[in-house]
Amino acid sequence: MEDKKIVGIGEIVWDMLPAGKQLGGAPLNFAYFAKELGAKSNVISAIGDDELGKEALRKLSVTGVNINLLQRNNLPTGKVLISIDSEGIPNYEIIENVAWDHIECSSGELELLCGADAICWGSLAQRSETSKKNIIKMLDAAPVNCLRVFDINIRQHYCNRDIAEESLKRAVILKLNDQELLPLSEMFGLSGDEEERLVSLIKMFDLKEVIYTQGALCSDVYDRSGLLSRIMTPRVKVADTVGAGDSFTAAYIVSRINEKDIITSHKKAVEVSAFVCTQSGAINPIPQELI
């Protein structure tokens, strides 16, 4: 696993939680959990040259994630205002026109992507034309055998058909949750039950797999033949679910690039994400028995 290179591309934010602020953002969370599980992790994003940016650098410098390509600019560091409901489910208000809305793509980013074993990105960081254009340029630099994972992460109004389509055309695996299936179905005219719509997406974009999470109920993995694996979500004492989906993705992808089968990878993802739900915020060490 030492030589397996994983890259998370997109937003870095401070999650402003009721209990205090936590550094996060789906691509960073993914990269952090992949590192915890043994991969060589990198993150490509942008932070501001402000106090929150300086604090982010201090925090990131001890995570073990490679931040050599973390960009700085004069816009504010990203913030997300988060409230947690009675079931531990987060609600998000994402501040606009921040540093990660202007991610650049230079020779350093392209060189990193050329050697990547897996990449994970979402739709949120593509809400600005600058970041969208440069993220697509990075994806197109990845080798043919790179495991390209589109974790769509629909938040507020920050995803449209063009963003989804351009990313889906480049993805090998799509990850989505039960709240994201309906807007995707509307974008692409999908009909039928959940399985029929997910299989239609797989065939439409020639995807290898779809990971479909359904919160406290269960999670599924599909390919073009239909449902491959379903695991019921373990019952745990939930602190909050921030980062749980990102840890699921990381555990699944690290297992897959380590040549584990789909069912084994799915089980690992469920175990890891259940643990993350018991912790406050996203970036917390994974216990040794889960690695």
Q: Give me the pLDDT at residue 143, please.
A: 97
pLDDT in tens, the chain (291 residues): 457 999 999 999 998 877 788 898 999 999 999 999 999 999 999 999 999 999 999 999 999 999 999 999 999 999 988 787 887 777 878 999 999 999 999 999 999 999 999 999 999 999 999 999 999 999 999 999 999 999 998 877 889 999 999 999 999 999 999 999 999 999 999 999 999 999 999 999 999 999 999 989 999 999 999 999 999 999 999 887 888 999 999 999 999 999 999 999 999 999 999 999 999 877 888 988 888
Q: How many CB atoms lie within 10 A of CB 193?
A: 7
Three-state SS for 3?
coil
The contacts found for 111-114 with CB under 8 angstroms, 24 or more apart, are: 112/5, 112/7, 112/42, 112/44, 112/69, 113/7, 113/138, 113/139, 113/141, 113/142, 114/141, 114/142, 114/143
Distance CA 125, CA 136 (A): 11
Q: Give me the pLDDT at residue 22, please.
A: 86
Of 30, 6, 10, the closest CA to residue 248 belongs to: 30
DSSP string, 36-79: HTT-EEEEE-EEESSHHHHHHHHHHTTTS-B-TT-EEESSPPEE
Q: Give me the pLDDT at residue 99, please.
A: 98
Q: Give me the pLDDT at residue 2, please.
A: 54
Spatial contact of 122 and 10, defined as CB atoms under 8 Å apart: yes
Q: What is the CATH number of domain 5-284?
A: 3.40.1190.20
Q: What is the pTM of this model?
A: 0.93
At how many degrees (to 10) do helices 129-141 and 107-114 cross?
A: 40
Q: Give me the pLDDT at residue 70, please.
A: 97
Q: Give me the pLDDT at residue 86, please.
A: 80
Q: Give me the pLDDT at residue 102, please.
A: 98
